[in-house]
Structure 1
């Protein structure tokens, strides 16, 4: 009990992160990782963790939280027939290879490189939401086997390196190739599990716990954060979806895109200021 009381501000902040991520996921249909990583990155620093260590732990913890939420999402989308099993068979192994390479690289590179990469991914995602939302597809169909192999490997590689699931990269990529939007979202949930499970396990086992890591950190995963965030994300996502049904979804998405753009540029700016 004394341990909990001594770390109450940290636990309260992590609980708030779960609520925030769940509401945004429901409101906007965005993956939790794109929200959780920057929130944890700045949160851990406020408790005295270095920026480099904060990025390692934010990445690993985010990947761990995606595992249960993606399982829940897969069940929901499968009932609606929106998970493309054939595409997953073609992409699965290549995504996994990309994930393993990316996870290995996370344990080898300076945290500043991960921060840079996340800042770039967040900024590009924000720009895509602002300017590409609702636009026509860039191509009539997905490319051939070689092109799809490159896409699948890159999705696994970059997602595992910045702590995000399948949605942030795979949904805009699939829809850009005229892939049905609802099926893209459902399939992305399954891609998120292929990414998050092996990546989180790798960072838990092979990640070297930073000396300034907060309470409950093993490898690159903060288990306290995992326990606080997951149930609240699952609980508040449907609430967010209910609120979204009563509001202008496009306007909400643009507001989030602006916030994400500011967050991404702030993470990049922190490296040089």
Structure 2
């Protein structure tokens, strides 16, 4: 059992992460998982959670926390009329299917595999956003049909493996089809709802009965962490949404890129 001072220090880190995740949910349309997963991984290491389940619990618990945060962020953006509801309707089946597949994969892969997926995707998206040019476009209108469904399924799969709300990948896809970053961010908040709910259920199933789980866990969801972090996430999400609408398109892109680069480096360090 670690000293009380260390437990209090990392509890404070979780509380701070809750506030930051709420701001990020509103500001970038992400559920905060990009911050929460690395922090949870470090905290669980301090508490001697076995390496075999540590990353899985960090990812699953992040998805559980994203459920109310994404709903709150979605409501804030929808109230401003910024959400592309037509795009969300096209993904309403595909994204949850991809997320369910992610939970099946997570039941059989190592924690190191999940960390590598997390790190590489964050880095690639950060570079695209930072060096984004106007001519980097697939077209002027988002496709429909099977191509858009495949994109939604991929967003659900990769986001489920990373423990994020899909904001990063949704922003990438929509901006490549000439959608504004503001509309992409707003729509991403709705994608977070489509990912987090099936992700929560899937990670409970994937980790059910694992003997290495920390106390107060159902599958790969640790409820102590959920209860501690959610209130602050909910409180700060509307402030992030408000801030997003005060920034220019390029300012939002650069801030998003810096955020993703820092997160990628943070998780890369955990691999060594």
Instruction: Give the TM-score range, shorter chain.
Output: 0.7 to 0.9
In structure 1, the residue matched to 2:43 is 43
What per-residue deviation string (whole Å, max 9, x for no partner) do you get for residues 80-120 of structure 1?
Answer: 22222222222211112211111111112222221221121
Higher mean C-alpha displacement, 133-142 vs 40-49: 133-142
- Cα gap change, 1:216/1:7 in structure 2, threshold over 3 Å: closer, same or farther? farther
Moved over 6 A (4+): 241-244
What per-residue deviation string (whole Å, max 9, x for no partner) do you get for residues 39-71 of structure 1?
Answer: 111221122223342210111011001110111
Q: Gapped runs of 5+ residues in structure 2? A: none
1:229 aligns with 2:229: yes
Higher mean C-alpha displacement, 190-199 vs 109-118: 109-118
Q: Distance in 1 between matches of 2:240 and 2:140?
A: 33
- Cα gap change, 1:203/1:133 in structure 2, threshold over 3 Å: closer, same or farther? farther
User: For the Cα contact (< 8 Å) 1:40–1:58, is it kept in 2?
Assistant: yes
- Cα gap change, 1:238/1:77 in structure 2, threshold over 3 Å: closer, same or farther? closer
Q: Distance in 2 between matches of 1:28 and 1:202?
A: 25
- Cα gap change, 1:30/1:6 in structure 2, threshold over 3 Å: closer, same or farther? closer
Give me the CA root mean square deviation. 3.0
- Cα gap change, 1:251/1:112 in structure 2, threshold over 3 Å: closer, same or farther? closer
The partner residue of 2:265 within 250, 257, 262 is: 262
Higher mean C-alpha displacement, 81-90 vs 136-145: 136-145
**How many residues of Structure 1 are paired with residues of Structure 2 in the alignment?**
266
* TM-aligned CA deviation for residue 227 of structure 1: 0.9
1:146 aligns with 2:146: yes
- Cα gap change, 1:231/1:209 in structure 2, threshold over 3 Å: closer, same or farther? farther
Q: Gapped runs of 5+ residues in structure 1? A: none
In structure 2, the residue matched to 1:173 is 173
In structure 2, the residue matched to 1:111 is 111
Aligned pairs for 1:1-273 (under 5 A) are 8=8, 11-25=11-25, 30-132=30-132, 137-208=137-208, 210-238=210-238, 252-267=255-270, 270=271, 273=272
